Amino acid sequence: MDRGMTGKYVPGETLLHRMDERAKLLAFLIMICAVIFTDSPAGYAVMFVFMAALGKAAGLSVNSVLSSVRRLGPFLILIFVMNSLFYTSEDPIWHFLIFSLSREGMIQGANVVLRIALVIVMSGILTRTTSPMELMSAIESLLHPLRYIGLPAEEIAMILSIAIQFIPTILEESDEIRKAQIARGARFESGKLRERAMALLPMIVPIFISSFKRADELAEAMEARGYRGAKNRTAKEKKKIDLRSVVMLLVCACVCAVQIVI
């Protein structure tokens, strides 16, 4: 398995680890709003300083936080180039056929790239300090009020939680299958794009088959253990939100407000 996977939960005892998961998820949503409103250099400076502080509070090194952004480097560069070259401007710096390079386009490209980078960093900090199970219960409790308008909150949470829980299992299994196929002479790394895509077939087919099989088995096992939908299910425990988490939410709300103003 990819041991250095970005965004994978790392158990710990840092300030962010101990915070209430509902508050963390809510703060994440507030911060996404803040990102949407960020569009000035000062705004980005505020955001990056705040992210650095959060990263520090989560006990993460700058390197590990940035590694997820770095992985998407080519994608981010592509977005920047596309925005720069295809922005319709009245005053282009350079024009050739359908391409037109402009200041506005470059600014927009930088905006999009910086926003994506911020969201990646934020989600990285969230998932590195919050276990999938905590995230699930946070989603469930945040969806809870929506029951009154007929949204099946528990079912949604259950589906998500199963999906998330099986990611490591499927990753591990795909790694096993990959090794087995390499041992049989498969080559995943070399060749042209088409060849490489075709070379993935020996992995994709077995993974699909076993995933469907596993889903069937899981459904049977759940039924055998008495699962009858979310009706009458009770929560294991109800946590009260602590002061620290409330403070964090307020800080995030302030950052968001600042972004709206500047």
Specify burial of residue 170 (Cβ count, 10 A radius: 0-12, 13-18, 19+).
Answer: middle
139 binds another protein per the rule CB under 8 A: no
When binding is defined by CB under 8 A, the residue of 36, 93, 146, 201 that contacts another protein is 201
Q: Which amino acid is at 249?
A: L
186 binds another protein per the rule CB under 8 A: yes
182 binds another protein per the rule CB under 8 A: yes
Q: Identify the H or E element spanning 95.
A: strand 94-96
Stretch in the footprint of another protein (CB under 8 A) among 48-56, 144-152, 173-181, 221-229? 173-181
Those residues whose C-beta lies under 8 Å from the C-beta of residue 86, and which sit 6 or more positions away, are: 98, 99, 100, 105
179 binds another protein per the rule CB under 8 A: yes
Cα dist. 221→17, 216, 225, 227 in Å? 33, 9, 6, 9
State the nearest-atom distance from the C-beta of 169 to another protein, in Å: 13
197 binds another protein per the rule CB under 8 A: no
176 binds another protein per the rule CB under 8 A: yes
In terms of CB distance, is 105 or 124 closer to another protein? 124
Selection from 155, 182, 178, 187 nearest residue 2 by Cα: 178
State the nearest-atom distance from the C-beta of 44 to another protein, in Å: 31
State the nearest-atom distance from the C-beta of 173 to another protein, in Å: 8
In terms of CB distance, is 147 or 187 closer to another protein? 187
Looking at residues 1 to 20 of the shown chain, list those that interact with another protein (rule: CB under 8 A): 3, 10-12
Question: 135 phi and psi, to 5 degrees?
Answer: -60, -40
What letter would DSSP give residue 100? E
Q: What Rg do the C-alpha atoms of the chain give, in angstroms?
A: 23
What letter would DSSP give residue 59? T
Q: Which amino acid is at 191?
A: G
The residue behind tokens 């505020």 is 46
Stretch in the footprint of another protein (CB under 8 A) among 128-136, 137-145, 185-193, 244-252? 185-193
Helix H, strand E, coil C: the string for 202-219 is HHHHHHHHHHHHHHHHHH
When binding is defined by CB under 8 A, the residue of 98, 149, 183, 261 that contacts another protein is 183
When binding is defined by CB under 8 A, the residue of 36, 45, 180, 247 that contacts another protein is 180
185 binds another protein per the rule CB under 8 A: yes
Stretch in the footprint of another protein (CB under 8 A) among 35-43, 102-110, 148-156, 199-207? 199-207
Binding site for another protein (CB under 8 A): 3, 10-12, 173, 176-177, 179-187, 201-202, 204-206, 209-210
